[in-house]
Structure 1
Amino acid sequence: MRFFWIVMALLGGGLILLIANHDSGRVLGLENATFAATLYLGLWGAVLLVGILGSGMRIGEAARSLAFWVFLLLALIAVYQYRYELQDVASRVTAGLIPGSPVSMVTSEGNARVMVERSANGHFEVIADVNGQALRMLIDTGASSIVLSDDDARRAGFDPSTLRFQIPVATANGTAMVARARAQEMSIGAISRSDVPVYIAQPGRLGQSLLGMSFINTLSGFELRGDRIVLQD
């Protein structure tokens, strides 16, 4: 208990110094925020140490318990400090397990970037969120617009019976008639757009939905890096 009160006195003195030197911005050569964080950690360290010593454990057992809690604290701090890097690793693992999963990153300027790996079939496919539904789409720079297949359109909440298929477009299977529509929300990873114009193909005329240039042109740029394509918001 004597040790505890000595530590409390030191922490109290540090708090008084912090308050007295608030306007100067530094205490004992440290910035106020750093000094305050040191006091905070010192308080928890003192409570933990007194709790271990007051439990009646032997010195060896107390040292092991203290080492465990110190290690746990450092591990939690490390996880917090590297949380964005760990999120990036988790996204890359997901992309490897689920082909087409977009890997989102944020630049130092705060802009979103999304990376997509080439699929086993040699094409770039991405899982896009359209009106809250995950749809696998082919990134096609040769297509001028976003075109949804009939199945994907139904999943995204479009009712084909209310659409007018009057616009002819050229596809790999020949000319098909499509209908105009608008998606309330469309996201690829961290890149999101609202009120997006799309075309919907007639049933059986389009095997896979296409992510065309009408979406890509809303980006600041995109680049091909070997087996990866990077979309930049």
Structure 2
Amino acid sequence: MDSDQVARLVYLGVWGTVLISYFLIARQQNIGQTLRHALLWGLIFVGVAAGYGLWQDVTQSNRVSVTGDGAIVLRAARDGHFHLDLQINSEPVRFIIDTGASDLVLSRADAERVGLDPDTLAYLGQARTANGIVGLARVSLDDVILAHGDLEIHDTNVPAFVNEGQLDVSLLGMGYLRRYARISIEGERLILER
């Protein structure tokens, strides 16, 4: 669970506690009927929370689509960013598309998952970030696959960097995006075409 989901769960828990407390205080004389009402409201609350969670799963799963001519269409997530999952060395990695980043940059955790050892890399490069200057290690990714439905785009020997600092998510910068013939942003949609 990420921090947004935990915050939503806490928020819903507080509202549930408020509703139950109200019923218990308002119906103090007839506790049996109050408990029935509280149980009913509790079930309604759980149903709404479950429905909300399922709706979020449905809307999140439809963030990437492929048009008839093979263009990849990404819809912006709730955080306003475009996210794309790639397979690197057969491991799924979630990226934020960052047209301001020069290259494909892996977080230490993602680098480790795809078979790189961040502790043995030579961090000879540097990048200026909002959190200060961080070291970068140049690497080459053997196999990068963008797969969605029947579409599979394979790239080999993709140059990338591993970030030495604290990076929560890997960045898909222009070093990778230049492989596409067209990149366009149209409102809440980002379109990639080869």
- Provide the TM-score with structure 1 as the length reference: 0.53
What CA distance in whole angstroms lies between the structure 2 residues aligned with 1:160 and 1:220? 32
Give 5+ residue unaligned stretches, structure 1: 1-93
Cα pair 1:114 1:188 within 8 Å, conserved:
no
Query: Hey, what does 2:167 align to over in structure 1?
Result: 206
List per-residue Cα deviations over 1:184-216 (Å, max 9, x = no partner): 1112233321110010011x4212110000111
Select the residue among 139, 143, 146 that pairs with 1:181.
139
How many aligned residue pairs are there? 134
Specify which structure has the higher proportion of helix.
1
- Identity over aligned pairs, percent: 31
Query: Hey, what does 2:102 align to over in structure 1?
Result: 144
Query: Hey, what does 1:32 align to over in structure 2?
Result: none
| CA drift at 1:142 | 0.4
Cα pair 1:224 1:230 within 8 Å, conserved:
yes
1:186 to 1:95, Cα distance in 2 relative to 1, 3 A:
farther
Cα pair 2:77 2:83 within 8 Å, conserved:
yes
- Provide the TM-score with structure 2 as the length reference: 0.64
Cα pair 2:60 2:77 within 8 Å, conserved:
no
Partner amino acid for 1:201?
N
What CA distance in whole angstroms lies between the structure 2 residues aligned with 1:104 and 1:158? 31
Query: Hey, what does 1:22 align to over in structure 2?
Result: none
What CA distance in whole angstroms lies between the structure 1 residues aligned with 2:128 and 2:154? 28
Cα pair 2:180 2:192 within 8 Å, conserved:
yes
What is the alpha-carbon root mean square deviation over aligned residues?
1.9
List per-residue Cα deviations over 1:102-130 (Å, max 9, x = no partner): 323451xxxx3211110100111111211
SS of 1:147 mapped into structure 2: strand
List per-residue Cα deviations over 1:24-78 (Å, max 9, x = no partner): xxxxxxxxxxxxxxxxxxxxxxxxxxxxxxxxxxxxxxxxxxxxxxxxxxxxxxx
Specify which structure has the higher proportion of strand.
2
| 4+ residue runs over 3 A deviation | none
What CA distance in whole angstroms lies between the structure 1 residues aligned with 2:120 and 2:58? 36
What CA distance in whole angstroms lies between the structure 2 residues aligned with 1:130 and 1:166? 23
Partner amino acid for 2:122?
R
Query: Hey, what does 1:128 align to over in structure 2?
Result: 86
What CA distance in whole angstroms lies between the structure 2 residues aligned with 1:224 and 1:95? 23
